[in-house]
């Protein structure tokens, strides 16, 4: 019998939370006829409706932000030195403070934050600066402490980001203001100079009105001087900085054109030979600056999108009431206790509570010497623990942008990653040189034909041919692609990685953690059952490592999350082979048979030795990642060469052979060094290698490969060796993602062709004298915009076609 | 002739006044946020009670200097 669900179907589909729009769980929290995804959202709704602020929900659909489960601890804000750094102004009773709130995203957020005074007693006025994601709040500090205010904001779903160094934001703001001022000054001069040029536009008699002409010329010159010295300053400065490094920048032809127009005009006016071209000069600067302003706004809008959504989903292990849980970095707050295992990164500045810390700060400082720390010492964000697990208490907020910047640090850039940038730069340099030569040729031609045309054509050629569009095409295309890939679960280190992914023709997979999911399969122990105290000792050792097998062993032996594990001393991990340490006076070692030096007929599995006596082995189930077969099938039919590198014994070779096909390289019992050598050998054959691994045992191989992707399931090891992080559930979509990167590259080539066509056409018109410098100045930014619009739209379209992103 | 010079001086005064006002408004941050004011004016103020008068001190600006 066919049963069609009718009314019941509605109940099954998860409803969207009225507050934040996320899917509601079964039996969601309710208030009247509204459903919520969590009690936090319900509480915010309740609070708003109690204060008669339901309007919030009319301004946008599901406008809220899910409040964090635990509002952060902001007590530090009340300490005078911290307070002084974030307070803008205080006269004893009224205090003005500016918070950065990354969570605000729509008009309703603005409304809510600006009506804070109705929710929080003691708040006066609050005003939002949306592009900078800042809210400035006036409070009466007698009745409202800063920490309480911050907690209230966090409770509403707008946790303030406490960046004590506002220097970066400050610089941004003043640069923006200076640009607006430069535009204003140039526009002012442009308007007035044009007015003074009216007589010559209208063709007044130059002989009878000669006095006027001279007067107007001098006044125009006076008006133009601030434009030259203030508004056009950045063009000259850019060109000069480039020249000092023996390098022709994009600013060079612009500066040359502007300079030529001004010099010619001054000469004309001084000689009394006319009014020069100051109207063109001021207009040119004005329009070029407007173009720059638009460009910056577009870029801000795009990069905001990237900052806000595309943070990679790093997570860490938080210990609360003795139980460990994986939480996203963004949910961490100062005061949380976090477990840092071998190879993991300290997410934020913290105090060491337990464990022997040997921290590798090379991501921060470039120095790889280990820094020891003992209990009570302060450890800093970005340090990587080498050795046993640590327990630390965070004292600062986690800054994802800081961690991202570590990922992007120069130290870890691959030398060849610069290829694309170099190519654009080199092409740009040749292009600029060619423009200058063409402009000079044009001037030479007009010198013979009609010398009065020289300044106009010379400037017009220089301006219209500016390779801005060329220079913008690559960053815009790849940033757009990076955003799309981020939405689909592949987080790139930087836009240039798109290029490396597109070029890859050989795909090398690591097994454990990449093709299989070690933790979910569970571990079974073969051998005499371990007494409980030994089991917890082994679990304690295993919990110090974040290798999938160790985690499987730890979770198999340690089923009572509320219990405590004994301490481990002398922990050592040999990448890909095993771990050892001393627990309660007993030497425990866990690893492969060959590493332990065991002579057993069947060395398969992970062996356990206690005080050098072999006790048995753990067998980890092969839990294949779902969708693996179609994934490999599609990659093969797309022509990629596949390989599998595994540290394990070749027990499962047959099943992997059927998955990978007859022509693939399957290598087992590979040490991290073997993996590295394999990648090098393929690269020596001229292949572009894409490596997928867990980022721990194969860090060397990931770094060596042309594009290294770390696959992450729950706990992510932040390994700067990789170029990208792929969410575990997005692995089956890898062929689509790779296809999309190739499409993005085609978009880039098309954009190059488009902007070249623009320049060639523009230059030929300008050289023949049909284009005034003013029209060039309008066309130049227009061409940049059409190229940006093209790349953004084409990338979106390609993403949709490849099924990537939303 | 002289009337033109007078007119030019007058227009220069007017234009420079506007330039001065513009520079002052930029310095006070009027151009920092071009997004929210356009949304803010679309949202009716449904709060007859008015805001408490803590605001008398502040300019609605973002001076970080």
Q: Which chain B residues touch A if contact means CB-CB below 8 Å? A: 1, 4-5, 8, 11-12, 15, 18-19, 22-23, 26-27, 29, 31-36, 39-40, 42-43, 46-47, 51-55, 57-58, 60, 62-64
Is A277 strand, coil or helix?
coil
- pLDDT the model gives residue A227: 94
Selected for mutation to probe chain A from B52, B56, B61, B65 (highest A CB count within 10 Å) is B52
Is A578 strand, coil or helix?
strand
Range with the lowest mean pLDDT among A313-317, A348-352, A796-800? A313-317
Contacts of B31 in chain A (CB under 8 A): 176-177, 180
- pLDDT the model gives residue A194: 86
Estimate to the nearest angstrom the gap between the alpha carbon of A460 and the chain centroid. 39
CA distances from B53 to A90, A112, A212, A224 (A): 16, 19, 57, 47
Range with the lowest mean pLDDT among A3-7, A175-179, A421-425? A3-7
Contacts of A154 (CB under 8 A, 6+ apart): A67, A68, A71, A72, A74, A160
DSSP A733: G
State pLDDT tens for residues A776-803. Answer: 777 777 787 788 788 888 988 988 888 7
Q: Kindly tell me if the per-residue pLDDT of B17 is higher than 90.
A: yes
Instruction: State the average pLDDT over residues A113-130.
Output: 83
Contact A657, A651 (CB under 8 A): no
User: Which residue intervals of chain B are DSSP H helices?
Assistant: 2-27, 36-40
CB contact under 8 A, A89 and B18: no
Question: Which residue in B26, B36, B52 is closest to A181 by CB distance?
Answer: B26
What residue in B sits closest to A115 (Cα-Cα)? B51
Estimate to the nearest angstrom the gap between the alpha carbon of A676 and the chain centroid. 28
- pLDDT the model gives residue A740: 92
Output the 3-class SS for A31-82: ECCEECCCHHHHHHHHHHHHCCCCHHHHHCCCCCCCCCCCCCCCHHHHCHHH
A104 against A576, higher pLDDT: A104
Distance CA A509, CA A726 (A): 13
Strand partners, A584: none
What residue in A sits closest to B17 (Cα-Cα)? A188
A210 against B47, higher pLDDT: A210
Q: Kindly tell me if the per-residue pLDDT of A103 is higher than 50.
A: yes
What residue in A sits closest to B36 (Cα-Cα)? A130
Contacts of A570 (CB under 8 A, 6+ apart): A580, A581, A582
Selected for mutation to probe chain B from A99, A115, A123, A127 (highest B CB count within 10 Å) is A127
Question: Which residue in B35, B43, B46 is closest to A131 by CB distance?
Answer: B35
A326 against A504, higher pLDDT: A504
Contacts of A399 (CB under 8 A, 6+ apart): A161, A163, A348, A381
Q: Where does the pLDDT of residue A231 fall: very low under 50, low under 70, confident under 90, or very high at 90 and above? A: very high
- pLDDT the model gives residue A422: 56
Instruction: State the nearest Cα–Cα gap between A474 and chain B, in angstroms.
Output: 28
Which range, A85-94, A243-252, A437-446, A796-805, has the best average confidence (pLDDT)? A437-446
Which range, A272-281, A502-511, A620-629, A783-792, has the best average confidence (pLDDT)? A502-511
Instruction: State the nearest Cα–Cα gap between B49 and chain A, in angstroms.
Output: 10
- pLDDT the model gives residue A226: 94
CA distances from A86 to A125, A637, A686, B4, B65 (A): 17, 58, 54, 55, 12
What residue in A sits closest to B38 (Cα-Cα)? A107
Residue A342 CB neighbour total at 10 angstroms: 24
Q: Kindly tell me if the per-residue pLDDT of A412 is higher than 80.
A: no
Q: How many helices (H) and strands (E) does chain B have?
A: 2, 0
Contacts of A66 (CB under 8 A, 6+ apart): A17, A19, A20, A22, A37, A38, A40, A41, A157
CB contact under 8 A, B64 and A185: no
- pLDDT the model gives residue A415: 52
DSSP A677-689: HHHHHHHHTT--E
Torsion of CA A688, A693, A695, A698, to 10 degrees: -70
ipTM of predicted assembly, 2 dp: 0.71
CB contact under 8 A, A192 and B15: yes
Joined together, the tokens standing for residue A662 give 């007859």
Contacts of A180 (CB under 8 A, 6+ apart): A293, B26, B31
Joined together, the tokens standing for residue A577 give 């082979």
Looking only at the bridges linking them, the beta strands covering A506-510 and A689-693 are parallel
A409 against A454, higher pLDDT: A454
Q: Is the dihedral of CA A716, A722, A725, A728 positive or negative?
A: negative
- pLDDT the model gives residue A686: 87
Contacts of B58 in chain A (CB under 8 A): 89, 94, 96, 124-125, 138
A399 against A754, higher pLDDT: A754
Q: Which helix (H) or strand (E) holds A259?
A: helix A251-271
Q: Kindly tell me if the per-residue pLDDT of A750 is higher than 80.
A: yes
Torsion of CA A484, A489, A495, A500, to 10 degrees: -110
Instruction: State the nearest Cα–Cα gap between B52 and chain A, in angstroms.
Output: 6
Closest CA to A551 of A323, A341, A390: A341
| Mean per-residue pLDDT of chain A | 77
- pLDDT the model gives residue A185: 94
Q: Kindly tell me if the per-residue pLDDT of B41 is higher than 90.
A: no
Q: How many helices (H) and strands (E) does chain A have?
A: 27, 28
State pLDDT tens for residues A464-479. Answer: 877 777 777 777 788 7
Is A166 strand, coil or helix?
coil
Instruction: State the nearest Cα–Cα gap between A222 and chain B, in angstroms.
Output: 12
Distance CA A667, CA A649 (A): 9
- pLDDT the model gives residue A205: 63
- pLDDT the model gives residue A805: 59
A-B contacts at Cβ under 8 angstroms:
101
Joined together, the tokens standing for residue A259 give 């300079």
CB contact under 8 A, A177 and B26: yes
Instruction: State the average pLDDT over residues A329-335.
Output: 75
Distance CA A53, CA A45 (A): 9
Contact A560, A710 (CB under 8 A): no
CB contact under 8 A, B58 and A219: no
Contact A738, A732 (CB under 8 A): no
CB contact under 8 A, B64 and A139: no
Contact A709, A691 (CB under 8 A): yes
Q: Kindly tell me if the per-residue pLDDT of A428 is higher than 60.
A: yes
DSSP A516: B
Is A398 strand, coil or helix?
coil
- pLDDT the model gives residue A310: 40
State pLDDT tens for residues A236-277. Answer: 988 888 788 777 777 788 888 888 889 888 988 888 777 778
Distance CA A672, CA A595 (A): 14
Q: Where does the pLDDT of residue A133 fall: very low under 50, low under 70, confident under 90, or very high at 90 and above? A: confident
Contacts of A204 in chain B (CB under 8 A): none
Q: Kindly tell me if the per-residue pLDDT of A651 is higher than 60.
A: yes
Contact A801, A737 (CB under 8 A): no
Instruction: Determine what percent of chain A is predicted with pLDDT higher than 90.
Output: 5
- pLDDT the model gives residue A338: 86
Distance CA A67, CA A41 (A): 7
DSSP A229: I
What residue in A sits closest to B16 (Cα-Cα)? A188
Q: Kindly tell me if the per-residue pLDDT of A606 is higher than 70.
A: yes
Residue A294 CB neighbour total at 10 angstroms: 15
C-alpha neighbours within 13 Å on the C-beta side of residue B47 = 18
Distance CA A792, CA A782 (A): 15
- pLDDT the model gives residue B61: 42
Contacts of B35 in chain A (CB under 8 A): 130-131
CB contact under 8 A, B23 and A181: yes
Distance CA A647, CA A511 (A): 8
- pLDDT the model gives residue A696: 63
Looking only at the bridges linking them, the beta strands covering A390-394 and A370-373 are unpaired
Question: Which residue in A117, A129, A191 is closest to B33 by CB distance?
Answer: A129
State pLDDT tens for residues A705-720. Answer: 888 888 876 555 556 6
- pLDDT the model gives residue A403: 65
What phi and psi values does residue A538 have, to the nearest 5 degrees? -65, -40
Distance CA A97, CA B58 (A): 11
Beta strands in A246-383 (DSSP E): 315-320, 323-328, 337-340, 350-354, 357-360, 370-373, 378-379
Instruction: State the average pLDDT over residues B21-27.
Output: 90
Question: Which residue in B15, B23, B39 is closest to A107 by CB distance?
Answer: B39
Is A135 strand, coil or helix?
strand
What residue in A sits closest to B12 (Cα-Cα)? A192
Torsion of CA A493, A494, A499, A501, to 10 degrees: 20
What residue in B sits closest to A222 (Cα-Cα)? B12
- pLDDT the model gives residue A309: 38
Closest CA to A254 of A287, A223, A226: A287
Contacts of B6 in chain A (CB under 8 A): none
State pLDDT tens for residues A15-65. Answer: 777 887 777 777 777 777 788 877 777 878 888 888 777 777 877 777 777
Is A193 strand, coil or helix?
helix
Looking only at the bridges linking them, the beta strands covering A707-712 and A724-727 are parallel
- pLDDT the model gives residue A563: 58
Question: Which residue in B27, B36, B64 is closest to A170 by CB distance?
Answer: B64
Q: Where does the pLDDT of residue B14 fall: very low under 50, low under 70, confident under 90, or very high at 90 and above? A: very high
Looking only at the bridges linking them, the beta strands covering A378-379 and A323-328 are unpaired
Selected for mutation to probe chain A from B49, B57, B63 (highest A CB count within 10 Å) is B57
Contacts of A219 in chain B (CB under 8 A): 8
What residue in B sits closest to A85 (Cα-Cα)? B64
Contacts of A195 in chain B (CB under 8 A): 11
Q: Kindly tell me if the per-residue pLDDT of A425 is higher than 60.
A: yes
Which range, A345-349, A602-606, A610-614, A621-625, has the best average confidence (pLDDT)? A610-614
Question: Which residue in A110, A191, A195 is closest to B36 by CB distance?
Answer: A110
Instruction: State the average pLDDT over residues A194-215.
Output: 73
CB contact under 8 A, A96 and B51: no
Instruction: State the nearest Cα–Cα gap between A423 and chain B, in angstroms.
Output: 36
Instruction: State the nearest Cα–Cα gap between A173 and chain B, in angstroms.
Output: 7
Joined together, the tokens standing for residue A766 give 């300008």
Joined together, the tokens standing for residue B43 give 């949202």
Instruction: Determine what percent of chain A is predicted with pLDDT higher than 70.
Output: 81
What residue in B sits closest to A94 (Cα-Cα)? B54
Contacts of B25 in chain A (CB under 8 A): none
- pLDDT the model gives residue A9: 38
Is A185 strand, coil or helix?
helix
A315 against A493, higher pLDDT: A493
CB contact under 8 A, B57 and A91: yes
Instruction: State the nearest Cα–Cα gap between A684 and chain B, in angstroms.
Output: 53
Q: Kindly tell me if the per-residue pLDDT of B59 is higher than 70.
A: no
Instruction: State the nearest Cα–Cα gap between B34 and chain A, in angstroms.
Output: 8
- pLDDT the model gives residue A768: 85
Joined together, the tokens standing for residue A683 give 């690269």
Torsion of CA B3, B4, B6, B9, to 10 degrees: 180
Range with the lowest mean pLDDT among A327-331, A477-481, A574-578? A327-331
Q: Kindly tell me if the per-residue pLDDT of A755 is higher than 90.
A: no
What residue in B sits closest to A91 (Cα-Cα)? B57
- pLDDT the model gives residue A230: 93
- pLDDT the model gives residue A564: 65
What residue in B sits closest to A98 (Cα-Cα)? B62
Closest CA to A576 of A648, A628, A637: A648
Distance CA A350, CA A391 (A): 10
């Amino acid at each position: 019998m066919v049963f069609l669900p009718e009314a019941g179907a509605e109940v099954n589909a998860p409803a969207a939370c009225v507050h934040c729009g996320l899917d509601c769980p079964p039996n969601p929290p309710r208030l009247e006829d509204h459903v919520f995804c969590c009690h936090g959202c319900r509480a915010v709704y309740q609070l708003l409706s109690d204060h008669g602020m339901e309007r919030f929900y009319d301004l946008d659909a599901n406008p809220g932000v899910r409040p964090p489960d635990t509002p952060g601890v902001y007590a530090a804000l009340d300490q005078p030195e911290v307070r002084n750094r974030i307070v803008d102004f205080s006269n004893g009773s009224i205090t003005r403070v500016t918070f950065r709130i990354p969570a605000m995203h729509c008009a309703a957020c603005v409304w809510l934050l600006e009506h804070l005074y109705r929710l929080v007693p003691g708040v006066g006025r609050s005003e939002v600066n949306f592009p900078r994601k800042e809210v400035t709040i006036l409070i009466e500090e007698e009745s409202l402490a800063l920490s309480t205010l911050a907690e209230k904001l966090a409770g509403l779903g707008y946790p303030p980001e406490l960046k004590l160094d506002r220097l970066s934001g400050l610089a941004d703001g003043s640069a923006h203001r200076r640009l607006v001022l430069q535009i204003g000054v140039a526009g002012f001069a442009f308007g007035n100079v044009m007015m003074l040029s009216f007589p010559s536009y209208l063709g007044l008699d130059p002989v009878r009105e000669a006095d006027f002409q001279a007067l107007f010329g001098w006044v125009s010159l006076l008006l133009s001087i601030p434009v030259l010295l203030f508004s056009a300053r950045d063009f000259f400065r850019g060109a000069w900085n480039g020249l000092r490094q023996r390098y022709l920048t994009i600013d060079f032809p612009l500066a040359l054109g502007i300079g030529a127009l001004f010099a010619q005009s001054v000469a004309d006016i001084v000689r009394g030979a006319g009014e020069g071209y100051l109207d063109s000069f001021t207009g040119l600067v004005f329009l070029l600056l407007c173009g720059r302003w638009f460009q910056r706004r577009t870029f801000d809008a795009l990069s905001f999108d990237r900052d806000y959504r595309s943070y990679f989903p790093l997570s860490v292990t938080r210990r609360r009431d003795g139980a460990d849980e994986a939480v996203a970095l963004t949910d961490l707050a100062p005061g949380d206790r976090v477990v840092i295992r071998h190879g993991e990164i300290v997410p934020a500045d913290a105090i060491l509570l337990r464990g022997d810390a040997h921290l590798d700060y090379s991501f921060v400082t470039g120095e790889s010497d280990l820094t020891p720390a003992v209990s009570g010492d302060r450890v800093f964000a970005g340090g990587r623990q080498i050795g046993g697990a640590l327990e630390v208490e965070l004292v600062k907020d986690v800054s994802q942008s800081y961690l991202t910047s570590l990922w992007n640090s120069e130290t870890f850039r691959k030398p060849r990653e610069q290829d694309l940038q170099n190519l654009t730069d080199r092409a740009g340099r040749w292009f600029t040189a060619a423009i200058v030569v063409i402009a000079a040729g044009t001037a030479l031609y007009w010198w013979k034909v009609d010398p009065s045309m020289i300044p106009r054509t010379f400037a017009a050629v220089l301006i219209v041919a500016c390779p801005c569009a060329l220079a913008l095409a690559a960053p815009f295309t790849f940033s757009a692609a990076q955003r799309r890939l981020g939405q689909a679960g592949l987080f790139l280190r930087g836009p240039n990685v798109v290029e490396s992914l597109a070029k890859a023709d050989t795909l090398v997979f690591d097994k454990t953690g990449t093709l299989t999911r070690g933790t979910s399969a569970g571990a079974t122990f073969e051998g005499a059952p371990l007494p409980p105290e030994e089991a917890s000792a082994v679990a304690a050792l295993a919990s110090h490592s974040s290798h999938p097998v160790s985690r499987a062993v730890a979770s198999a032996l340690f089923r009572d999350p509320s219990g405590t594990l004994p301490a481990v001393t002398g922990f050592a991990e040999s990448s890909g082979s095993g771990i050892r340490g001393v627990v309660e006076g007993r030497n425990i070692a866990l690893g492969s048979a060959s590493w332990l030096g065991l002579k057993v007929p069947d060395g398969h599995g992970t062996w356990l030795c206690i005080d050098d006596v072999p006790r048995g082995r753990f067998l980890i189930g092969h839990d294949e990642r779902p969708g693996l077969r179609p994934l490999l099938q599609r990659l093969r039919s797309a022509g990629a060469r596949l390989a599998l590198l595994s540290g394990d014994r070749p027990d499962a070779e047959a099943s992997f052979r059927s998955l990978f096909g007859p022509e693939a390289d399957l290598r087992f019992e590979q040490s991290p060094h073997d993996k590295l050598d394999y990648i090098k050998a393929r690269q020596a054959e001229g292949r572009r290698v894409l490596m997928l691994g867990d980022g721990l045992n194969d860090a060397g191989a990931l770094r060596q490969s042309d594009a290294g992707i770390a696959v992450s399931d729950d706990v992510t090891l932040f390994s700067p060796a990789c170029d990208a992080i792929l969410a575990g559930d997005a692995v089956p979509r890898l062929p689509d993602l790779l296809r999309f990167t190739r499409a993005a590259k085609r978009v880039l080539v098309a954009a190059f062709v488009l902007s070249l066509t623009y320049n060639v056409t523009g230059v030929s018109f300008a050289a023949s004298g049909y284009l005034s410098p003013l029209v060039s100045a309008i066309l130049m930014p227009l061409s940049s915009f059409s190229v940006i619009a093209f790349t953004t739209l084409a990338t979106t379209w390609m993403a949709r076609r490849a099924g990537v992103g939303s | 002739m002289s009337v033109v010079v007078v007119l030019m001086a007058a227009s220069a005064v007017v234009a420079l006044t506007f330039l001065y006002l513009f520079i002052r408004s930029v310095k006070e941050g009027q151009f920092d946020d071009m997004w929210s004011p356009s949304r803010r004016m679309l949202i009716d103020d449904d709060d007859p009670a008015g805001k408490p008068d803590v605001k008398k001190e502040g300019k609605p600006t973002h001076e970080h200097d």
